[in-house]
Amino acid sequence: MNHLKTLIVVGNGMVGHHCVAQLIERGALDHYRLHVFSEEPMRAYDRVHLSEYFTGRDAESLALSDASLYQTPGVTLHLGVPVLEIDRARCEVITADGCVAYDKLVLATGSYPFVPPIEGAEGDSRLVYRTLEDLDAIRKAAANARRGVVVGGGLLGLEAANALKSLGLEAHVVEFAPRLMPVQLDDFGGLALKAQIERLGVGVHLSRATQSISAGEQYRYRMNFANDEFLETDLIVFSAGIRAQDALARQAGLDIGPRGGVVINDECLSIDPNIYAIGECASWNGSLFGLVAPGYQMARGVAALLCAQTAEPFVGADMSTKLKLLGVDVGSIGDAHAHTPGARSYQFIDEASASYRRLVVDASGKHVIGAVLVGDNSYYDTLLQYMQNSIALPSEPASLILPSSNGAPTLGPGALPESATVCSCHNVTKGAICSAIDGGCSDLGLLKAQTKACTGCGGCAGLLKQVFEHELIARGVSVDKSLCEHFAYTRQELYALVRVEGILTFDELLAKHGRGHTGCDVCKPAVGSILASCWNQPIMDASLVPLQDTNDTFMANMQKNGTYSVVPRIPGGEITADKLIVIGEVAKKYDLYTKITGGQRIDLFGAQLHELPDIWSELIAAGFETGHAYGKSTRTVKSCVGSTWCRYGVQDSVKMALLIEDRYKGLRSPHKLKFAVSGCTRECAEAQSKDVGVIATEKGWNLYIAGNGGMRPRHAELFATDLDDATLIRYIDRFLMFYIRTADKLQRTSVWRESLEGGLDFLKDVILHDSLGLGAELEAQMQLVVDRYECEWANALADPEKLKRFRTFVNDKRPDPDIHFVQERGQRRPIMAAELNLIPVTEEIA
């Protein structure tokens, strides 16, 4: 092994890591022992998505590769070991752990945040936003803070402001320049972005230079600006630009660029033939490159050279970028400021929605050379492709940025040349994607893994999917949308067949339009749901029972140990003392674990199958109905107490919630439906996170649709304003039935809404303006479901044949002897597997 040379990579950020991965992939370990030194204590992580650290992602999930890459024989990763010095004469790096000799050295030391020298800036008034440790410090400072200020209104500054906001702080941005994102945006773009960000409750203070920081009165600190202006805050994050981390290079006597950074040539080589520099610590042609794509480009080039392969020279990089900052789309392409001689612009300004778009074309008027987007990035991919591939502009270039009734104009994936770059982080062309598909790759996830496309910043996800599907179809691969092996139809098509042909049973549908005699656990519940949505017949009827998924079959929610939870309907969350007492008595009698749900109801856990009819007999006798917590159906209508009690309420939100819940209870749909009604704009019922949200106004009700909490939260969209009661209900009728008619199985309204071609405007046309002439039909369908409502549990209890199934053993009265509970906080809960050996002891105690 002595013939191996030593290659050292200093820095394990995104670019350093990419270089290592590329080196390994290209076979560098045949020639080199590889040492990687990192100042940070953990291996390379995704800095582009750093802010997600505050919204639930942990350090491990941000890591860029699994740990095994650095366990490859021949690779040594030194974490938390900064390189202190480079001895170029002896070809050695010096660390606290000793000296290591190198044959080749790659500097990938990145950058550090620049903090202007301001009197009084220290501790929590001098935070920065760069590493996971920085984020930990911000989180700590935010724990007792109400307000936070970010100094710097650039890309990273706005990211940091978003982070502060997600930590629950009132966030402010202080920018020295007269506009936000001065590098990427022009004046109008800056204005539009400011308007949008202010609407989100973030304070924006432009043309402000902080002169000193002193103790505050209302908050911890006071930032003093010129003209006696000031702003008080509990913490300050500096994001006033980055500086190349070039201290090592300076010490080693390498050439440093005019704005800092190791001077490199087109091969990323410094003046020392054995030392390369890549990423943010490198200065090429006097410029620094603070984005991940050019850094990756340099890393690839250097890795190729070190493996004696041909490398594309680095000749600058496209600094185009698109992001979502504080939820606002911002895009900047090429020559956004139209600095190119002869450049001309088209601009579109929408002050109502604070959107702005600018298209910059060259002197000939034939090619795109730049663009600015604020408010809607759906134009980005197309504009970028026009620029990167010098595609000739259409006869009316402004059409590329003007709103159209069909959404943003898109350049079909078929129009892209093979050389078109789809993923600029990993330099993946359309041609590379095509050859992967030709090589047998027919799965999007696999395609990403094989080509690395879309695994950098992720910005090309939409385009990649389009190209992928287009190419599959072009190769005659049909994208199979069949429900399952028994039905070659989508859910939507089956819905239409059931309704048009008046089909009432699964067997009839299977005989007429399916294959086989049995169906499966995919199509049976889907068809069961369609039949219920259309005809609303009792799900316990003999022909329907076998279709239901396990929870619907027994009209209760199966828990992990095979017991059930029971949720009686508590409409609008309103309940009398007498009914509360009944729930308490039932829970006590059957020893049920009791918990308040998020939907203002009470969940009773731990009932065995044979106990369900008795429990429900008692609940129904007291006036309760089933809550359908087990169904893909209407769940709850959450409400605040409204104008009856609340001094702020402007409408009776409880009454409206009761009206809505009573109308839609029992409605089965492609997925569960959650509603809420708030009695004023303070929105205590959180209606904007529901499938259907209603918020009171002075004049009536505002309707919001397609919100979601849970795994993929989505704010509901304002759909119609100041509605009277009857109109509100009519619109909800139409909205729900249109969803039931057109959604895929198990598709929540939020995902359905996002997949609708034509988007919100189309949906408004259909529901509010009846553009498809469906309104009366949808309302009539809903009325049929409403008229046929009956409590499923009451129906089942009245029929001994239906109760036959509610027996743990049909030949024995005993309960399931394998179900065990332990006591915890005064109630029982299922025993954990690890506790099983304790059973005898627990039983003695109990």
Partner 1 sequence: MSQANPQRNLTTWKGVCSETDLVSNSGVVVWLDGAQVALFYLPGAQDQTLFAIDNHDPESGANVIGRGLIGSIKGDLVVAAPIYKQHYRLEDGQCLEAPDQRLRVWPVRLNAGVVELALD
Chain residues binding partner 1 by CB under 8 A are 485-486, 516-522, 524-525, 542, 545-546, 548-550, 553-554, 558, 560-562, 609, 804-805, 807-812, 814, 816, 818-819, 833
Q: Smallest distance from the beta carbon of 628 to partner 1, in angstroms?
A: 18
Nearer to partner 1, 497 or 558 (CB): 558
Distance, in Å, from the CA atom of 215 to the CA atom of 179, rounded to the nearest integer, reads 28
Q: Smallest distance from the beta carbon of 487 to partner 1, in angstroms?
A: 12
- Contact of 44 with 13, CB cutoff 8 Å: yes
Q: Smallest distance from the beta carbon of 635 to partner 1, in angstroms?
A: 20
| SS3 of residue 84 by DSSP | strand
Nearer to partner 1, 760 or 819 (CB): 819
Residue 578, number of CB atoms within 10 A of its CB = 9
**How wide is the angle at C-alpha 416 spanned by C-alphas 415 and 421, nearest 5°?**
165
Q: Smallest distance from the beta carbon of 496 to partner 1, in angstroms?
A: 24
Residue matched to tokens 């009536």: 700
The backbone region for 25, taken as left when phi is positive above 0, alpha when psi lies in -120 to 50, beta otherwise, is alpha
Nearer to partner 1, 380 or 605 (CB): 605
Q: Smallest distance from the beta carbon of 486 to partner 1, in angstroms?
A: 8
Helix (H) or strand (E) holding 332: strand 328-334
Q: Smallest distance from the beta carbon of 818 to partner 1, in angstroms?
A: 6
Orientation of helix 506-513 relative to helix 491-501, angle to 10°: 110
Nearer to partner 1, 64 or 510 (CB): 510
Nearby residues of 792 by Cβ (< 8 Å), 6 or more positions away: 538, 539, 540, 555, 626, 628, 666
Which sign does the torsion angle of CA 678, 683, 686, 688 carry? positive
Nearer to partner 1, 550 or 771 (CB): 550
Nearer to partner 1, 355 or 548 (CB): 548
Nearer to partner 1, 71 or 550 (CB): 550
Nearer to partner 1, 395 or 837 (CB): 837
Nearer to partner 1, 814 or 825 (CB): 814
Q: Where are the beta strands (DSSP E) in 568-724?
A: 593-596, 602-607, 634-639, 673-678, 692-696, 701-705, 717-723
Cβ burial, residue 256 (10 Å; 0-12/13-18/19+): middle
Q: Smallest distance from the beta carbon of 755 to partner 1, in angstroms?
A: 25
DSSP 441-463: ---HHHHHHHH-TTSSS-TTHHH
Greatest Cα pair distance in the chain: 94
Q: Smallest distance from the beta carbon of 813 to partner 1, in angstroms?
A: 9
Nearer to partner 1, 573 or 670 (CB): 670
- Contact of 422 with 463, CB cutoff 8 Å: yes
Distance, in Å, from the CA atom of 510 to the CA atom of 527, rounded to the nearest integer, reads 10
Q: Smallest distance from the beta carbon of 127 to partner 1, in angstroms?
A: 45
Nearby residues of 815 by Cβ (< 8 Å), 6 or more positions away: 608, 610, 808
Cα 662 to Cα 31, 597, 659: the distances in Å are: 74, 19, 5
Nearer to partner 1, 554 or 735 (CB): 554
Which sign does the torsion angle of CA 402, 405, 407, 413 carry? negative
Nearer to partner 1, 67 or 798 (CB): 798
Nearer to partner 1, 83 or 523 (CB): 523
Distance, in Å, from the CA atom of 703 to the CA atom of 724, rounded to the nearest integer, reads 11
- Contact of 566 with 612, CB cutoff 8 Å: yes
Distance, in Å, from the CA atom of 45 to the CA atom of 14, rounded to the nearest integer, reads 7
| SS3 of residue 325 by DSSP | strand
Q: Smallest distance from the beta carbon of 717 to partner 1, in angstroms?
A: 33
Nearer to partner 1, 154 or 631 (CB): 631
Cβ burial, residue 403 (10 Å; 0-12/13-18/19+): middle
Q: Smallest distance from the beta carbon of 480 to partner 1, in angstroms?
A: 16
Residue 776 in tokens = 């009366």
Q: Smallest distance from the beta carbon of 510 to partner 1, in angstroms?
A: 11
Q: Smallest distance from the beta carbon of 521 to partner 1, in angstroms?
A: 4
Distance, in Å, from the CA atom of 57 to the CA atom of 46, rounded to the nearest integer, reads 11
Nearer to partner 1, 274 or 561 (CB): 561
Cα 743 to Cα 388, 666, 669, 739: the distances in Å are: 37, 18, 9, 5
Residue 404 in tokens = 């159209």
Order of strands, sheet of 673-678, starting from the edge strand that comes earlier in the sequence: 634-639, 673-678, 692-696, 701-705, 717-723
End-to-end CA distance of the chain: 68
Q: Smallest distance from the beta carbon of 833 to partner 1, in angstroms?
A: 6
In 312-411, which residue ranges form alpha helices assigned H by DSSP? 380-388
- For residue 533, give the amino acid letter: S
Q: Smallest distance from the beta carbon of 792 to partner 1, in angstroms?
A: 17
Nearer to partner 1, 363 or 511 (CB): 511
Q: Smallest distance from the beta carbon of 739 to partner 1, in angstroms?
A: 25
- For residue 816, give the amino acid letter: D
Nearer to partner 1, 8 or 510 (CB): 510
- Whose CA is closest to 471, among 488, 490, 451? 451
Nearer to partner 1, 777 or 816 (CB): 816
| SS3 of residue 660 by DSSP | helix
Q: Smallest distance from the beta carbon of 811 to partner 1, in angstroms?
A: 4
Q: Smallest distance from the beta carbon of 817 to partner 1, in angstroms?
A: 9
